Structure 1
Amino acid sequence: MTMHYGYRVAAIFLLGFFIDCINIFMSAIALPSIAAQMSVATESISWVANGYILGLTLIVPLSGWLASRFGARQMIVASMLIFSAAALGCARADSFTTLVAWRFIQGAGGGLLIPVGQALTFNLFQGRKRAAISTLIMCVALIAPALSPLLGGLLVDVLSWRWIFYSNIPFSLLAALLAAIWIRPQETERVRADIVGIILVCGALGALLRSLSLFSEQQSLLYATLWLAAALLLAWGYLRHYRRQPSAILDLSLLRNRQLNLSIAVYYAVPGVFTGVNLLTIFYMQQVLHFSAGHTGSFMMLYGAGALVAMLVAGRIYYRVGAPRLFCCGLLLHSGGIALLSLVGHPGDGEVLCAAYLLMGIGGGIAANCAQTTALIELNEQQMSRGSTLWNINRQLTFSLGTALFTLLLALLSHYFPGERAWHLAFIIAAVVGLLPLWLIYQRRFHKEIQ
């Protein structure tokens, strides 16, 4: 039986998306081991993740133009080949600087596939079928983080952290092979390169991520502030450029779409907050509770199980219940799970950890799946590529922002509160932050516009 062309394209995109997700969460479980082996401070080790996210974020605005210039198939194949070579470089890195450099290249390779693959996939599915594809995307987005920490922890415990990166290579090579065989050549409308816009957007994103990293390291607040000011200045420059340039690299007019607006806010409150909280929890369990890497990663299995069930149910009832109710339910459950982490004080509190990760998984599955479905559901074929670019830049920034802000928060709290109390306060603050979109939902009366 021959697989329908749309599902072939979707399979390639989902495989690439899976690879992207495991690279954020599988590498996180290895950070304590990398820090110890390479003698890197805890505040600086986040550059293993930030380097990847920075490369991915900077290449996303270019992906649509490159696909129009060289073709979607060529871009996806090139993406996975670059990714594979960089994964090998990461595994063989002999210094922290080299590792971060390869991670940047790896992120740039992965960033070529995600928006191009998503736009290509969504254009092949419309209406309820697009909602079903969105559910599959979020299943991957939450199953990969559930499985990868456990598998990554076992690799670290049995072999070494280098096998975290070696294990990426078979998947990325398979994605490149399938793209070369399955994706049909397409005639695409040639998009004129917005060189000024590219420089301003990439400069603003790069400066923002650099400032967030410096703030989290707390080594030079002056430099961090200067980088943040540079990011704001470049963003203001792009805004002026966008108003004069009809074919600007990022179409900011799409942000007037309230479905996309609210979905972006929810994504910061759920996957963004969870990424930061999960990183804190990994260090808390390994450094304070003295869990092994494998034991630490095993809790994400509960997260994944809860998320999978929640997403499947939410996907089936999305049109019947409506986005606002699903958003509210997901946000409350997710923040409730984070709040439970503040009750964990010693290794015997395993039941509380299990309940916390299960609740975060259920809430995260509902909210993130609903955001993915709602964000692009009303965009037409002409808007889809530009909408996908905006959405994926937002997705990467949520991960980086969550990591930087909560690392900084813990560092600040540690100055004023002793021992475990700083960790517990960080979890409580994160739970409150995760509820902020509830006010946005109420204020906008969003349900009247999308039901």
Structure 2
Amino acid sequence: MSYRYKVASIFLIGFFIDCINIFMSAVALPSLSATLHVSSASVAWVANAYILGLTLIIPLSTWLAARFGSRNVLTASMLLFSIAVWMCGLANSFAELVIWRFVQGIGGGLLIPVGQALTFNLFQGEQRAKISTLVMAVALIAPAISPTVGGFIVDSSSWRWVFYSNVPFSLIAAGLSWRWIKEAKTGDLSRPDIKGLLLVSTALASLLMGMSLYGGDARTWLAMACIAAGLLFIALYLRHYRQSRHAIIDLSLLSSTRLSTSIFIYYAIPGVFTGVNLLSIFFLQNTLHFSARLTGAFMIVYAIGAFIAMTIGGRVYNRVGAKRLFILGMLLHSAGIVTLTQVNAPSDLWLIVIAYSLMGIGGGIGANTAQTTSLMDFNGSDTHKASVIWNINRQLSFSLGAALFLMIFNLLLKPFDTPSAYHATFAIAALVGLVPLFLMSQLNPAKANHEQQPD
């Protein structure tokens, strides 16, 4: 195996681990909520804490990799991840679980941006479309397998083993990183932007806290104060960015239409789907009384549709172009969400299959196209900087999607009964998923003209 495929393999394992953490833990949330006596809004912090850990460390990944070397950073990150995920399984309180999920996010937050930057610098031109398809294919294997396996674990054992099962994969990633990575440390280092890091992390924590509180049992003024604080810290970071020479997140890279459009698409498709899928899990288990195993099995339907769509999309990307694929992906994905609004009883199993099939096909087209398009304009060190932005966005889209639609659902529970609140939330999600259609006119339909590399 050539060096670049060894690097790609490590990155793909890390990406697989990251997806497992999102989808396998999601199917366990109703059981975890009941065991630890927390509300559906509060239990979302199992995901939010992981996202915050990622957000804290991802912007530092460039400096850490340059200071200590990619091999050392990737190996240490996966060892820390292994320890944290084991402690998540041992947690005896919700507070302990949230704390260790935060540490787990710190461990996992280094492998993906560092591994992605190393991989994408080794694959240029049309080869990036091929490696992006591999990345998204692995990202589909995880959602296909992990919810079903997670559902089986929850039904037959305990939610704790949902976390324990991550350990073998993270240890494999640590061993391969130590054995295969040959990147040297960089001598010229700029001081990391700690102030910018704190502003970004505080802004995200405040926004997530505000959305988690709003519509729940907390006072409205407290939720609004958290959201206002989040917006304030965003404004402070923007001012800091204009005054800093080495800001932690280089916003100038967002002038790339491909990157900025791909970011919006990720909020509209994978981000929206994360929130819809989380609500669907509670709807199917608590309202329709499906087992965790059956609930998780619908992700197999999603993954089959997405895998077929991504395989075709990866082959036609350079002929059809990102714009048409983005539009098709959004329309199919939202059609699937609309189908969920028609599910009223356990006998509507075929409607759920259609819904997850459409969401899978649309999601596969949209996510794969966004992954391929996002870093097309960058090379060298800019690839790593853009990878930081992309991976913060990717993780943030999952967390904000879950928080936003849980908030909307809790608000709709006041005027509607529970099934109607679910249906109304799904309808709103379908509309939100179509918002980037208004941005398609600014996406250059011309194909990227990169030099093609041999395999």
Shorter-chain TM-score: what band?
A: over 0.9
CA gap 1:205/1:439 in 2 versus in 1, 3 angstroms = same
- In the alignment, the residues of structure 2 paired with residue 10 and residue 286 of structure 1 have an alpha-carbon distance, to the nearest angstrom, of 38
The aligned counterpart of 1:105 is: 103
Give the letter for the 2:162 counterpart: I
Conservation of the 8 A alpha-carbon contact between 2:53 and 2:104:
yes
Matched, 1:241 2:240: yes
Percent identity over the alignment? 57
Q: How many matched pairs?
A: 448
The aligned counterpart of 1:60 is: 58
Conservation of the 8 A alpha-carbon contact between 1:58 and 1:206:
no
Deviations 1:68-96 (A, max 9, x none): 11111111111111110011101111111
Stretch moving more, 232-241 or 21-30: 232-241
CA gap 1:222/1:440 in 2 versus in 1, 3 angstroms = same
The aligned counterpart of 1:16 is: 14
The aligned counterpart of 2:453 is: none
Conservation of the 8 A alpha-carbon contact between 1:143 and 1:307:
no
Structure 1 residue 450: deviation in Å? Answer: 5.7
Structure 1 residue 448: deviation in Å? Answer: 5.1
Q: What pairs with 1:19-418 in structure 2 (closer than 5 Å)?
A: 19-188=17-186, 189-215=188-214, 217-418=216-417
Deviations 1:128-161 (A, max 9, x none): 1111111111112232112111110001111111
CA gap 1:216/1:401 in 2 versus in 1, 3 angstroms = farther
- In the alignment, the residues of structure 2 paired with residue 77 and residue 220 of structure 1 have an alpha-carbon distance, to the nearest angstrom, of 44
- In the alignment, the residues of structure 2 paired with residue 204 and residue 40 of structure 1 have an alpha-carbon distance, to the nearest angstrom, of 25
- In the alignment, the residues of structure 1 paired with residue 315 and residue 447 of structure 2 have an alpha-carbon distance, to the nearest angstrom, of 20
SS in 2 for 1:427: helix
Give the letter for the 1:440 counterpart: L
- In the alignment, the residues of structure 2 paired with residue 169 and residue 146 of structure 1 have an alpha-carbon distance, to the nearest angstrom, of 19
SS in 2 for 1:190: coil
Give the letter for the 2:417 counterpart: P
Conservation of the 8 A alpha-carbon contact between 1:82 and 1:106:
yes
Structure 1 residue 389: deviation in Å? Answer: 0.4
Give the letter for the 1:141 counterpart: A
Structure 1 residue 220: deviation in Å? Answer: 2.9
Conservation of the 8 A alpha-carbon contact between 1:268 and 1:398:
yes
Deviations 1:93-146 (A, max 9, x none): 111111111111111110111111111111111111111111111112232112
Conservation of the 8 A alpha-carbon contact between 1:61 and 1:250:
yes
SS in 2 for 1:44: helix
Structure 1's unaligned 5+ residue stretches are none
Deviations 1:260-305 (A, max 9, x none): 1110111000000000000000000000110000010001001001
Structure 2's unaligned 5+ residue stretches are 450-455
- In the alignment, the residues of structure 1 paired with residue 183 and residue 369 of structure 2 have an alpha-carbon distance, to the nearest angstrom, of 32
Structure 1 residue 184: deviation in Å? Answer: 0.7
SS in 2 for 1:415: coil
Give the letter for the 1:347 counterpart: P
CA gap 1:304/1:243 in 2 versus in 1, 3 angstroms = same
SS in 2 for 1:343: coil
SS in 2 for 1:447: coil
SS in 2 for 1:446: coil
The aligned counterpart of 2:418 is: 419
The aligned counterpart of 1:4 is: 2
Conservation of the 8 A alpha-carbon contact between 2:67 and 2:185:
no
